[in-house]
Structure 1
Amino acid sequence: MNQMLHNIKKTSSELGIKDTLLYIFDRLLYKISFKTLILHKYYITQQPVSQDCLVPAGKGGDIEIAQIGPDHPLLQQMDRPFSVLQKRFANGGHCFSARKGEQFAGNLWLNFDKYQEDEVRCTYVLQPKGQAAWDYDVFVLPKYRFSYVFAKLWDEANKVMRQRGIGHVYSRINYYNIASLQAHKRLGSRIIGSLFFINLGRFQCAISLHFKPTLTFSLNRDVFPEVHIGATEEH
């Protein structure tokens, strides 16, 4: 009992009261529904494409950043099923890889104009068209998390986005993923809204007070309703 209270107190200090209660409610629903009822809450973040380099001149010279395609051998070292990575490319994904020597060190993915969610059924449509990107699965191997890998990945991604005339990059972050929220905040990111998804078997309901449409329903696993994310949205 004392351990449970300690865990709740710790979670509350990280998430705040509202998200802590949501987390407890979510876990309870998941258990009593025999893992069939799942609640997702995402924060949508927006950050400006940086005009400056994050890595000081002369630093991180042993880290190689490259944009790789669906046939690159480095994909085999990534912590994702190969079929998932191929689907990302098919859906317009652009993969930036980091390596030290011949070893994979991290990756960052971007989509331009739209992104098909891989956790729920949803396609984020970014507006204005041609001026926004979506970042996801930013990952650095634990042993390189105190190196320049993360910063060099973002430097390369920002360079590509500047060349395309993109002003903002968006992301969705699980409400309980404090580490990711803080990492994005350090890059100048801010929360512009939230989305709720309720999944029960094939049924899905999506709710948002910040983006359009406000409410969508889906019974078809192959249909991904669109949610429009624009640069004028406010939290």
Structure 2
Amino acid sequence: MKSRVHQTVRQIGWYNGAWYALSVLFFRLSGGRWQVFKYRFMAQAVAREPLCRGRGRAIEVRELGAGETPAAMARPAAVLAQRYAQGARCLGAFRAGELLGFLWFTLAPYQEDEVRARFMPAPARAGWDFDVQVLREHQLGFAFARLWDTANGLLAARGVRWSCSRISAFNAASLAAHRRLGALELGGAVFICCGSWQWMAATISPYVHLSRGPASFPHLRLEPPCSTSTT
């Protein structure tokens, strides 16, 4: 555990590393009842040109219905049901029938399933993507790019110019991947969860929020620029 904390601190810097160490300490002392989540809010322009440029043709990307989620996705059934109930859509990347990775997105406000919060991308010009993952043994291939090429096509067809997301400030690899794609940072937030209580401090409205139960949560509006020059 100590080695993992040290490695993460080296990757994300001392400030975020201190928050990460605090999250590990809270989790261990409370037996999992106290948790700290630190997010960066990103806006990635919907690309007009494909990322793969003809590569990765053996990878099939298709939309998954509510009844065909592969076991390899390893998400609780209740979480998946909540996502589909909100109108979220899931893309899966496959090769020879094997799941390589997946990407979730929605064009509606999204009720987060990790903390109590509703994320609200600017209507008409922004969507929301979440839980984007390529399975470890396939991360060096074209699954990530193929997923985004398909997602970009679906978003562009609806006139959407940006896809917003929340990325853990403790996940250096994911933050780096978004920055390589030219994503902009819109702000950040820290959530401290202690049993049924949740405190939030954010750089975007409503800035501070206290929740004492499931019925109370902040509404965080994400406002990417009105235009993009991404090609």
Cα deviation digits, residues 45-76 of structure 1 (max 9, x gap): 1111111101122x2221111122212x3434
2-structure distance, mates of 1:29, 1:120: 16
1-structure distance, mates of 2:31, 2:101: 35
Residue equivalent to 1:192:
186
SS in 1 for 2:70: helix
**Conserved 8 A contact 1:75-1:82:** no
1-structure distance, mates of 2:166, 2:179: 13
- Aligned with 1:80 (options 46, 52, 75): 75
2-structure distance, mates of 1:39, 1:77: 27
Tell which structure's C-alpha radius of gyration is larger.
Answer: 1
Amino acid at match of 1:65: V
SS in 2 for 1:16: helix
Amino acid at match of 1:19: N
Unaligned stretches of 5+ residues in structure 2: 227-231
- Aligned with 1:68 (options 40, 53, 64): 64
Shift of the 74–100 alpha-carbon distance from structure 1 to 2, 3 Å rule, reads farther
SS in 1 for 2:221: strand
Q: CA deviation at 1:8?
A: 6.0
Shift of the 223–156 alpha-carbon distance from structure 1 to 2, 3 Å rule, reads same
Residue equivalent to 1:45:
42
Q: CA deviation at 1:96?
A: 0.7
Q: CA deviation at 1:9?
A: 5.4
2-structure distance, mates of 1:63, 1:175: 30
Amino acid at match of 1:185: R
Q: CA deviation at 1:232?
A: 4.8
Cα deviation digits, residues 84-119 of structure 1 (max 9, x gap): 222211112111111112222211000113111111
TM-score by length of 2: 0.89
1:141 paired with 2:135, answer yes
Residue equivalent to 1:224:
217
1:108-147 matched pairs, under 5 angstroms: 108-127=103-122, 129-147=123-141
Amino acid at match of 2:141: S
Q: CA deviation at 1:33?
A: 4.1
TM-score by length of 1: 0.87
SS in 2 for 1:25: helix
SS in 2 for 1:212: coil
Q: CA deviation at 1:172?
A: 0.8
Shift of the 224–75 alpha-carbon distance from structure 1 to 2, 3 Å rule, reads farther
2-structure distance, mates of 1:156, 1:142: 21
Report sequence identity in percent. 31
1-structure distance, mates of 2:70, 2:7: 37
Shift of the 34–81 alpha-carbon distance from structure 1 to 2, 3 Å rule, reads closer
SS in 2 for 1:18: helix
**Conserved 8 A contact 2:206-2:218:** no
1-structure distance, mates of 2:101, 2:163: 19
2-structure distance, mates of 1:70, 1:29: 35
**Conserved 8 A contact 1:116-1:123:** yes
Residue equivalent to 2:90:
95
